[in-house]
Amino acid sequence: MSIDRGKDFQEKIDALDLIINVLKEHEKRLDKLAESLEKMLKELRLSRTVGIASERESKDLRVQIVCDDWTDFKNRSRNSDLVIFDVDERNLKFTSISGSSIYHYSEPVIDVKVPLEIEGEYYRIKKSEMRFFLEKLAKKKFKCNVEPSITIKLVSSGENMDLLLFRLYPEVSKLKTWLAKELDVPPENVIYGKISFMK
């Protein structure tokens, strides 16, 4: 009987060895699975972070478009977030910011020059020339259809000739209201000034 007990005991030891070996194999597999899972989580976190960064970058990325036609600018700028305008001696400049797009439009101020002849202390202008220049002035319009104001300035151009310069440009005080109405933008979102972009 003692032999049977020894045999029984050995079988139990063998069974325990088998269970221990199986558990060790499972432990190795679990370690590999844990490592793989950890690696996947890191990659997932990294791709999420990259995704968030690229999403932020795309929000910061703005496309700038220069419109050559007022109608294009007007259509693209309707209900813009912000409209900026500036008037200098040479150009009217309009910029609108709408989402991630920035639209620009400009056109020159209108100048009509009338030559004046100097006779002693007086200027002389031929009636026919004055009529021609006034008719030319009356036909001049801005492509954007803003109502112009006129300034008249005497410009010296040489020995016996000066110029009477008629300059058409919109009044800044009226331009803000006009732009708000044209572009369907609240007046508080229309700003007179210059725009610059930071890199």
Burial 38-73 (b: 16+ CB within 10 A, else e): eeeeeeeeeeeeeeeeeeeeeeeeeeeeebeebeeb
Domain segments of the chain as ranges: 1-61, 63-192
Place of tokens 């030559």: 115
Give per-residue pLDDT as tens, 80-123: 999 999 988 889 999 999 888 999 999 998 888 887 777 777 77
- The mean pLDDT of the chain is 79
Give per-residue pLDDT as tens, 33-47: 778 777 776 666 655
This prediction's pTM: 0.61
Question: Which has more pLDDT, 34 or 53?
Answer: 34
Residues in the chain, total: 199
Question: Which has more pLDDT, 122 or 48?
Answer: 122
